[in-house]
Amino acid sequence: MKVIFFRLEKKGVNFLLSKIRHDKKKNYDASLPIHKDVLPHVFSILATLKLSNTEKIKSILWNEIKTKIEIRCNALDIEYAFFLEREGFERQRIIRVEAEAKTLELDFSKEPGFISNGESKVSADEDWNNKMRPLATMLSTFLNSISSQKMDSRLDASFALSVNEFADRIDKISI
């Protein structure tokens, strides 16, 4: 049985709910629960890895002030554990895949990140410095879809709706 772990933490720098990244002050909307803020990114990664969306939520654990959530769920024969945190000690973005014989880890806490298997470690993207960043790529794809009048499948709203449905299920269970 496979186990997928996601640990996504956003480091808070002060009480104004901001952080410094790339020498710029960043803020987040504290009225938006962390699972609704971060899960769209997690599900995009799952889709990129061609992994199934989660089907059954097994457990949800919040801390008292709702800045940390642990979500355990499964899809087919894959178990997922999502650890999401705001105001964490340090910014972490780690995906760990545990299979019967081997564990692989993608740590992109600092982009482009590294992939390791416990024995060796390689860059997650050797060509990172020569490519557009993710946001620029997304905007370019959007504009190209408009100008060519051909919709890119990555812009299909049904994906976003499925992520929102999952987040809504978390809300219903958490009440």
| CATH code for the domain of 10 | 3.30.360.10
- Count up the domains in the chain and report the number: 1
pLDDT value at residue 17 = 38
Whole-prediction pTM value? 0.77
pLDDT value at residue 122 = 95
Q: Is the pLDDT score of 93 beyond 50?
A: yes
Phi, psi of 40 (to 5 degrees): -55, -35
Cα-based angle 55, 57, 61 (whole degrees, multiple of 5): 155
At which residue do the structure tokens 């993608």 appear?
Answer: 106
Relative to beta strand 2-11, strand 114-116 is unpaired
> Which of 10, 3, 7 minimizes the C-alpha distance to 82?
7
Over residues 115-141, the mean pLDDT reads 91
Confidence of residue 3 (pLDDT cuts 50, 70, 90): low
Domain that holds residue 38: 2-174
pLDDT value at residue 140 = 94
At which residue do the structure tokens 């973005």 appear?
Answer: 93
